[in-house]
Structure 1
Amino acid sequence: MTVAAGEQAPDFTLRDQNNEEFTLSAYRGKQAVLIIFYPLAFTGICTGELCSVRDDLHTFQNDAVQVVSVSVDSVYSHKIFSEREGYQFPLLADFWPHGAVAQLYGVFNEDAGFANRGTFLVDRTGVVRFAELNGPGEGRDAQTWRDAIAAL
């Protein structure tokens, strides 16, 4: 089951493209966190969605909110991906155990071996305030994320 709005967000710790740990619960009481699960780095729709965040970063990452993206790619793939595309936000590696965080959030695609397109806005208390799930090949509209952030 996918984590729904109104539920407590499952806590996790993953490493970003700089091999630094990111722990969701470290943001409690400080900032909301927008979590963007995507299937794979270097693919068309995924790149386009993350470039939308990059191009309007001040909306998604500021004093009130932190944005992170999550895929099953390795830290090393994320490093190259972030450098190539100029991403200035954490790209988290749900590499091993393979897709464990995506499974916690109910967005892991068992047949394909990667995360579906799940997006979760977690407020400062750790409660999910916005949740969406799209399958592979179904792009998301970043405006819905802006609207969810504005509604916090």
Structure 2
Amino acid sequence: MTSPEIAVAGPVPVGSVAPDFDLRDQNNRRVSLSGLREKGDVLVVFFPLAFTGTCEGELGHIRDNLPRFADDTLTTVAVSVGPPPTHKVWSSAQGYLFPILSDFWPHGDVARSFGVLDERRGYANRGTFLVGRDGLVRYAAMVGPGEARTEETWTAALATRS
């Protein structure tokens, strides 16, 4: 649950159609949710900002356990309002081999469509969504910027794979 001072709509509910997106990754390549879904399920991980400790820890967890988060039928992407050049430097330094997507412009539109944009602060809360190949949200959770996702969040999200 978010604190009252954080202005967000709330995460897209389980069972609803996930909003499609088309964003640039850290290598400036276009990545769409619909294109990723052709391969299988997609874990969409929103994070506030690059170069911050909690974000590095969470994405480092994905990096260190990549076989759990990416295989022939699952793709994991991380999304933040930062621009692709920032994500390029950060992902290279941290060894992130999964797409880090830029929701830079229009600023925060994808986070807003998923219901996780903190309008007052201008960046996403920590939203976690498992989107099935059929485009339906199978898992949705959100915690605020100061809170880290727990192992239970990752386990619960991955348990909903189709």
TM-score of the pair, normalised by structure 1: 0.96
Give yes or no for the alignment of 1:127 onto 2:133: no
Correspondence list, 1:16-55, <5 A: 16-55=25-64
Structure 1: gaps (5+ residues): none
| Letter aligned with residue 93 of structure 1 | S
Match of 1:84 among 74, 86, 93: 93
| Letter aligned with residue 64 of structure 1 | T
Give 1:60's aligned residue: 69
Root-mean-square deviation (CA, aligned residues, Å) is: 1.1
Note the C-alpha offset of 1:27.
2.7
Give 2:104's aligned residue: 95
Note the C-alpha offset of 1:143.
4.0
Q: Secondary structure at the match of 1:112?
A: coil
8 Å CA contact 2:81–2:102 kept in 1: the answer is yes
CA–CA distance in 2 between the matches of 1:4 and 1:31?
A: 20
8 Å CA contact 2:44–2:77 kept in 1: the answer is yes
CA–CA distance in 1 between the matches of 2:103 and 2:160?
A: 29
Q: C-alpha deviations, 1:16-70, integer Å up to 9, x for none? A: 0000000001133421000000000000101100000000000101112000000
Q: Secondary structure at the match of 1:138?
A: coil
CA–CA distance in 2 between the matches of 1:117 and 1:25?
A: 22
Give 1:75's aligned residue: 84
CA–CA distance in 2 between the matches of 1:150 and 1:133?
A: 17
8 Å CA contact 2:130–2:160 kept in 1: the answer is no
| Letter aligned with residue 96 of structure 1 | W
How many residues matched? 152
8 Å CA contact 2:22–2:31 kept in 1: the answer is yes
Structure 2: gaps (5+ residues): 1-8
Stretches (4+) displaced over 3 A? none
Note the C-alpha offset of 1:145.
1.9
Percent of paired sites with the same residue? 53
